[in-house]
Amino acid sequence: MSKELGMTHKKSDLSEWYVEVVRKADLAEYSPVEGCIIIKPYGYAIWERIYEWLNERIKETGHKNVYFPLLIPERLLKKEAEHFEGFTPEVAWVTHGGKKKLNERLAIRPTSETIMYTTFSKWIRSYKDLPLKVNQWANIVRWETKMTKPFLRGREFLWQEGHTAHRTNEDADEEVEKMLNVYKELAEDVLAIPVLAGKKTDSEKFAGALYTMSIEGLMPDGKALQMGTSHNLGQHFSKVFDIKFSDEDEKKKHVWQTSWGVSTRLIGAVVMVHGDDKGLVLPPKVAPIQVVIVPIPSNERTVEEAQKLADALHPLRVEIDERERTPGFKFNDWELRGVPVRIELGEREIESGELTIFRRDTRERAKLLSKDAKEGIERILDEIQSNLFDRARKFLESRMDVAKSVDELVEKINEGKIVRAAVCPEHESKVKELCGATPRIISGRGKCIFCGKDCNEVWFAKTY
Ligand SMILES: [Zn+2]
């Protein structure tokens, strides 16, 4: 086994471990532009699994896909003041077309509300045009000044952004909740990552929104990761962009809007939550390769049997490793890449009709009769999927806590926990000063642990 192949960092050195896994499992590499990554085929294939699942749900819930331009004229971005203030610090601008300086700067989209809503005002005339429900799969540029990390924080990433317009606020509320639930299902059922879901405090809401809902996962170092957001934009944008409709009563009214999105950051979450000292561990539902068959040794007979087995396993995503490498090299390689199930197929297995199965999540071997391969492997993949979720859920639950005083909050945050505490809006920044934690989502009501005022009780954690 070459030195280059295996992991050198343990997961307990999370930061170094993470970067090493991303590189050695062939998910992504750095590009000549700082903060922008090249997503390699194996990493992109994970995104494709997410895309395929989510795209189907987006359509099932009544949305249609669209594509809007990458460039947004400055005057549009400026129209909604709060939104502009919120995004300006991280907007990248195009100032020249060829050698000619442009009369107006063009923003590379940090998000598409402004360019879409200018158009919505032309598309929407009557209540019959509502609801308008579209989604865009695109890339986004936000000029991060903080330290970047592949997938988790970068200057360019891929995402989808849903944008809808409704007749009433109630319809918008319903849409926001529906899409948040789709995201929760994506995180928990597909990525096997348990999340807390709920409303953000005003300080953490999307720039220009009435309110923001979010799903938050907890990473192994106790930092929360915002994995998806769903915003009720109220009528802020529709008033600024003049999106009006004539209602049944023939009165002109402004529409109520929502927007919601998830990004390639989800790939980073999967790496962080499930990986171990040996490398990546992928939930079967997003694994580009679910089963790898390693013929031992790789000869005509074993490869032919491997091919028969692969055919029998259809439509599972199966790969046969025919490389001229030692079994040990191959085993390490596939473990590093997090392939859920490995089948070791040698002369002995062929003779006995009994396969040797290796499970990546538990790193245990088991026997399985060749004739039951399809059923058996499907069952094992299901078990891996739920085992990964259960493991992550137990971890999350072990780190959820409550604080009744400031000292208790600081102490528990420093232990790497996500902590419920009542803190009024004026004292949120105090928490950040004391321990670096920020409000994640609202959990209920209580009396501020700083001043005793009635206020929201909020989940606090450090974040990515
Ligand atoms: Zn207070």
CA of 197 to the centre of ligand 1 (A): 24
Look at residue 3 in the predicted model and tell me its pLDDT. Answer: 46
Look at residue 1 in the predicted model and tell me its pLDDT. Answer: 42
CA of 449 to the centre of ligand 1 (A): 7
Beta-carbon count within 10 A of 408 CB: 15
Look at residue 113 in the predicted model and tell me its pLDDT. Answer: 94
Beta bridge partners of 215: 197, 228
CA of 201 to the centre of ligand 1 (A): 14
Tokens representing 54 are: 């989510």
pLDDT per residue rounded down to tens, the chain (464 residues): 444 568 999 999 999 999 999 999 999 999 999 999 999 999 999 999 999 999 999 999 999 999 999 999 999 999 888 888 888 899 999 999 999 999 999 999 999 999 999 999 999 999 999 999 999 999 999 998 888 899 999 999 999 999 999 999 999 999 999 999 999 999 999 999 999 999 999 999 998 899 999 999 999 999 999 999 999 999 999 999 999 999 999 999 999 999 999 999 999 999 999 999 999 999 999 999 999 999 999 899 999 999 999 999 999 999 999 999 999 999 999 999 999 999 999 999 999 999 999 999 999 999 999 999 999 999 999 999 999 999 999 999 999 999 999 999 999 999 999 999 999 999 999 999 999 999 999 999 999 999 999 999 999 999 98
Domains present along the chain, CATH in parentheses: 14-68+86-91+110-274 (3.30.930.10), 291-379 (3.40.50.800), 400-463 (3.30.110.30)
Residue 264: name the closest of 178, 146, 184, 150 by CA: 150
CA of 451 to the centre of ligand 1 (A): 4
Residues 6+ apart with CB under 8 A from 156: 35, 36, 139, 140, 141
Look at residue 81 in the predicted model and tell me its pLDDT. Answer: 83
- On the question of a cis peptide bond just before residue 131, with omega within 30 degrees of 0, the verdict is yes
CA of 452 to the centre of ligand 1 (A): 6
Beta-carbon count within 10 A of 232 CB: 26
CA of 453 to the centre of ligand 1 (A): 6
For 176, 278, 338, 352, the CA distances from 287, given in Å and listed in that order, are 29, 16, 8, 30
CA of 394 to the centre of ligand 1 (A): 32
Residue type, position 388, single letter = L
Q: Is 71 exposed, middle or buried (0-12, 13-18, 19+ CB in 10 A)?
A: middle
Residue 151: name the closest of 17, 265, 231 by CA: 265
CA of 89 to the centre of ligand 1 (A): 29
pTM: 0.96
Look at residue 298 in the predicted model and tell me its pLDDT. Answer: 87
CA of 455 to the centre of ligand 1 (A): 8
CA of 463 to the centre of ligand 1 (A): 22
Look at residue 5 in the predicted model and tell me its pLDDT. Answer: 67
CA of 393 to the centre of ligand 1 (A): 32
